[in-house]
Every structure is written in C-alpha cells, then in structure tokens.
Amino acid sequence: MRLSRYFLPILREVPKEAEIVSHRLMLRAGMVRQEGAGIYAWLPLGKRVLDKICNVIREEQNRSGAIEIMMPTIQSADLWRESGRYDDYGKEMLRIKDRHERDMLFGPTNEEMLTEIVRAYVKSYKDLPLNLYHIQWKFRDEVRPRFGVMRSREFLMKDAYSIDLDFENAVVAYNRMFVAYLRTFARLGLKAIPMVADTGPIGGNHSHEFIILASTGESQVFCHSDYLGMDTPEEGVDFQDPAALQDIVNRWTSLYAATEEKHDEAAFAAIPDEQQVSARGIEVGHIFYFGTKYSEPMGAKVTGPDGVETPVHMGSYGIGPSRLVAAIIEASHDENGIIWPEAIAPFRVGLLNLKVGDAATDEACEAIYAELTARNVDVLYDDTAERPGSKFATADLIGLPWQIIVGPKGLAAGTVELKRRADGTRETLTIAAALERIIG
C-alpha cells in the first residue's frame, strides 16, 4: 500500500477525551473514529488489525474442532422470553420494535439463538459433540462505556457454544476451549491468565476469565506469579485426546488465580509473599459451563444411547477481538507509539522514502516495494512529500515491526537502514541483506 493513496488520518495532538494510552494511540494513529457514546467506526489501519486478530482466533477455534457459522445481530424477544432472560437482562439490552410492533433486540450474546438452532436439528447423541461459533457485533448498553473500544457499547465478539450429551463430555468441550484460548492469546503476544470467575447474566457454576495484567485494567485480580512464566500448549496438541487436554487444564488451574468477586483471602495468603500478585487486569476472554440452563426451558433434547431423551449440556466461550486491539496496545507501546507483535501488525514493514523525487531513491524504493509485495509481505510505502522527521514519527506511532529507511546518502554507499520497532535497533545493510532479514 502506498501511503499517498491510503487513508491514514493521523492526529498530531493528543485527544483530550482519551483517558488511557491505548485509546489515545488508537485515535492518534487513525485506527478508529468515535461515532457515538461507546460506538466506533473502524478506519483502515484499525480494520486491518481487527481482521488479523479475528484470523488468529478463527485458526485456533477451527484447530480445536469448532465450526464457524454466522448468526444475526437482531434477535426476536420471544426467544429470550423462552429462557426467561428477556426481563432479567435489564437495561443493558437494547430493545427495538419493528414496523409490526414486534419486540426485537440487538443481541448482547447468542445463547438463546444457538439453543434454538440446536433444538431444530440436533436430535441424537450421535450428532454430538458439536461446537459452533461466530464472530459478530454485539450491543450492550453499558452504563459507563469508556476507554474507547476497551469497554464500548457496540463491540465485536467471538462467541462459541458447545453442545454435549452429558456433564463428562461437556467438561472435555470446556477444556478444548480452555486450551484453544491459551494458544490464541499466546499467538497474539499476550500473557493471559485463566482465573476463577463469576458467571453474571450468562449463568452456570463453572467459569474462567482470561485476564492480562495491565495497570489500566478495570478488574482487581489475584494470582500466583508462576503463571507469568508458564509455557503455552504446542500447536500439535491433540484436541481429540481428553486426557492430554485435562493435563494442560490441570497445570493451568493448579495455582491460585481469581478475580475480585471470587477472591479467597485465606487461599491467597497461603502463597509465599514474594509470589503473590495483586494487580489490575483486562478481561480478554470468558468461558462458561452452564449445563442445561438454556436447553431445559427451551426444549433442546437429544436421544441418548439408552433411548432416553435428555436436555443437552452446554457451555459458551467468548473473546472480545475489538477489546483485544486496545488490550494489546496497553501491553505493547512506548512513548513514541504502538509496538505491534508481528502476528497482527497492520503491515509488517514500513518503507520510508526520505527523498521523494530523487531518481535513485525512488527507483530503489520501487524495487524494494515490488519485491516485498511479490513475496506477500504487507508493506506500507511512505511515498509522501513529508519531511523525514515526520515520516519517522508516523512509522513509530503506527508501530510497524520493521522499517526500511531509504535515503540518497545511504544509497550512494549501496545501503539502507533497517530498524526494528520493538527495540529501536538500527542496522546499515545492503538492500539484499535487509530483504533477506525480513523475508528470511
């Protein structure tokens, strides 16, 4: 992508309304635009990151055996009356009437709709296990939308729903998602700790929140410091092997970790002082087992091997991709801007032409741009007439992992500069060596 033809509305001023660093940087880097309280438009740079995060989530969901679908955002109130949640959900639910005066709502979550789909088609234990997920916009009329996309009213969620014959199988389904979540967050460059959590309006009695530690986090959390050094499961983990999954879950739940609502002062005090972590955290994922809470009142039943019909056991599993964009920035930035992990950077490489109009510099940049593009490397080519200082500032602000800096002086000596955003190191290399470093 050539910056001269891109849409990257950078703000030089620090927006006053933004209280936390991720919100400030997302506005300054032209990633999002506020359209209402807690409602955001995603501009090109933000959209690229959001898509990359969704793709990592999708790959790990698919690897674990979950199957992607797409359910609508608008739901019928009658569905929610069946589960009893229409009245319970309260003011967070955005209620709408259609032209026929029918009660509708903008979905805050999809347990009812998924249960309705299951009850229509799934009749036998032979159709199970099943885990269906989608990545879809949700609306929750939060009392205090704040911190930009971190706690917004409209937000993106990956929500998966598992359906099993009984409790034992449902535990395996829960463990699959638990392990898939550990892998997903690690791939996004985050240390997410599964913590025993409250279930709130989703219900059930078994639940973990996946929390990353950050001073700007909205929850108070408590855990053992060893969680910060634990290894994440390998790519080859066998999701069909219940014992292997249980081993991983056991390891990741063996030490103390709880959110404030579930905090046990005595259990925490038993951890040696120097290993106690009491910190603020951001909830990036939340998984629930709620058994027959929805299948029973809504009549989602299957016939078991014994010929007896029973309500299915279900769980639901959420990740917030739009919140993750902000959470990753909270975890990875410096005074100059964002530092994207390579896996989700909007572009892997920034190509900075320091003297647009100079024939040799233009020619070298065009050749580098063509080569990287041919190798499927995402490049943002700064071919604008801005001064070098401003180009450096923009490249650092938007956080591209690699910067190739091309100027007439270096070129005269046959070299360019290669800068790594993560640690600021710069190397003077031939063009071929710089490309080799990036392409590998």
Residues that bind ligand P5A (CB under 6 A): 109, 140, 142, 151-152, 155, 157, 159, 202, 283-286, 288, 316-320, 322-323
d(CA 275, CA 4): 51
Residue closest to 125 by CA, chosen among 270, 1, 361, 305: 305
Q: Which is nearer to ligand P5A, 100 or 144 (CB)?
A: 144
Q: Name the maximum alpha-carbon separation found in the chain.
A: 82
Reading phi first (left if > 0) and then psi (alpha if -120 to 50, else beta), residue 148 is in left
Beta strand residue intervals within 246-348, DSSP E: 257-259, 276-291, 301-303, 309-311, 313-319, 333-334, 337-338
Cβ nearer to ligand P5A, comparing 218 with 378 = 218
Distance CA 343, CA 332 (A): 13
Residue 198 or residue 427: which is nearer to ligand P5A going by CB? 198
Residue 151 or 176: the one with the smaller Cβ distance to ligand P5A is 151
The rounded distance, in Å, linking the Cα atoms of 291 and 128 is: 15
Nearer to ligand P5A, 140 or 391 (CB): 140
Least CB distance to ligand P5A at residue 336 (A): 27
Distance CA 311, CA 293 (A): 9
3-state secondary structure of 97: strand
By C-beta, is 142 or 371 nearer to ligand P5A? 142
Work out how close the CB of 74 gets to ligand P5A at its nearest, in angstroms, rounded to a whole number. Answer: 17
Q: Which is nearer to ligand P5A, 89 or 268 (CB)?
A: 89
Which residue has tokens 């296990």?
129
Note whether 289 and 207 are within 8 A (CB): yes
